[in-house]
């Protein structure tokens, strides 16, 4: 995200991950924590959520300044799916069934 910070702000941005209507993860960053880019007043910040299953994302601006508004731009938005690794118990079950089927086939 990036913004032209017109004045110091006590507002914050919150990124929420939801599954159905339930918030399963969230993270917040204060607008005052945005990092400067050069000398022209442009600032930036990265906000991320990981290792959680969700079906929607919500970005919320809030705070006491400017009615909670945050004038921002979004760039380089990435949503990546990670593959899950089978649990050892389920892998052992698959191997046991495979061995059983091999044993039955040999008869």
Q: Whole-angstrom Cα distance, residue 42 to residue 27? A: 22
Q: Whole-angstrom Cα distance, residue 35 to residue 77? A: 18
Determine if the pTM surpasses 0.95.
Answer: no
Assess whether pLDDT exceeds 70 at residue 94: no
**Which pLDDT score is estimated for 22?**
95
Assess whether pLDDT exceeds 80 at residue 13: yes
Assess whether pLDDT exceeds 70 at residue 97: no
**Which pLDDT score is estimated for 92?**
59
Given pLDDT bands bounded at 50, 70 and 90, which one contains residue 19? Answer: very high
Q: Give bridge partners of residue 83 from the DSSP assignment.
A: none
DSSP element (H, E) containing 18: strand 12-19
User: Residues 22-60: pLDDT tens digits?
Assistant: 999 999 988 887 777 777 777 777 888 888 999 999 988
Contacts of 82 (CB under 8 A, 6+ apart): 51
DSSP element (H, E) containing 98: helix 88-106
Burial status of residue 8 (CB atoms within 10 A of its CB: 0-12, 13-18, 19 or more)? exposed
Contacts of 14 (CB under 8 A, 6+ apart): 26, 27, 28, 59, 60, 62
């Amino acid at each position: 995200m990036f913004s032209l910070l017109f004045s110091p702000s006590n507002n914050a941005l919150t990124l929420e991950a939801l599954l159905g209507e339930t918030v399963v993860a969230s993270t917040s960053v204060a607008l005052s924590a945005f990092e400067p880019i050069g000398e022209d007043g442009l600032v930036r910040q990265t906000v991320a959520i990981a290792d959680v299953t969700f079906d929607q994302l919500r970005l919320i601006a809030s705070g006491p300044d400017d009615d909670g508004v945050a004038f921002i731009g979004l760039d380089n938005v990435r949503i990546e799916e990670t593959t899950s690794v089978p649990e050892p118990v389920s892998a052992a079950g698959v191997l046991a069934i495979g061995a059983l089927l091999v044993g039955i086939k040999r008869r």
